[in-house]
Structure 1
Amino acid sequence: MLSYFKKKNPLDKLESKYKLLLKEAHQLSTTNRSKSDAKIAEAEQVAQEIEQLKN
Structure 2
Amino acid sequence: MFGWLRRDPKKKLETQYAQKLEAARDAQRNGNIQGFAALTSEAEKILNEIDRLAEAGENDAR
Place the TM-score, normalised by the shorter chain, in its bin: 0.7 to 0.9
SS of 2:29's partner is coil
Give 1:30 deviation, angstroms: 1.9
Q: Once the two structures are superposed, what CA deviation does each residue of 1:13-48 show, in whole Å capped at 9, x if it has no partner?
A: 000000000000000002211001100000000000
Matches within 5 A, 1:13-32: 13-31=12-30, 32=32
Residue 9 of structure 1: aligned partner:
8
Structure 2: gaps (5+ residues) = 56-62
TM-score normalised to the size of structure 1? 0.83
TM-score (normalised: structure 2): 0.74
Report % sequence identity.
Answer: 30
Name the structure 2 match of 1:51: 51
Question: Paired residues, what number?
Answer: 50
After TM superposition, the structure 1 stretch with the greater mean CA deviation from structure 2, 17-26 or 7-16, is 7-16
**Which stretches in structure 1 are left out of the alignment for 5+ residues?**
1-5
Greater mean alpha carbon deviation, residues 45-54 or residues 27-36: 27-36
2:47 counterpart letter in structure 1: A
* Aligned equivalents of 1:27, 1:7: Cα separation in 2: 34
Structural RMSD (CA): 1.4
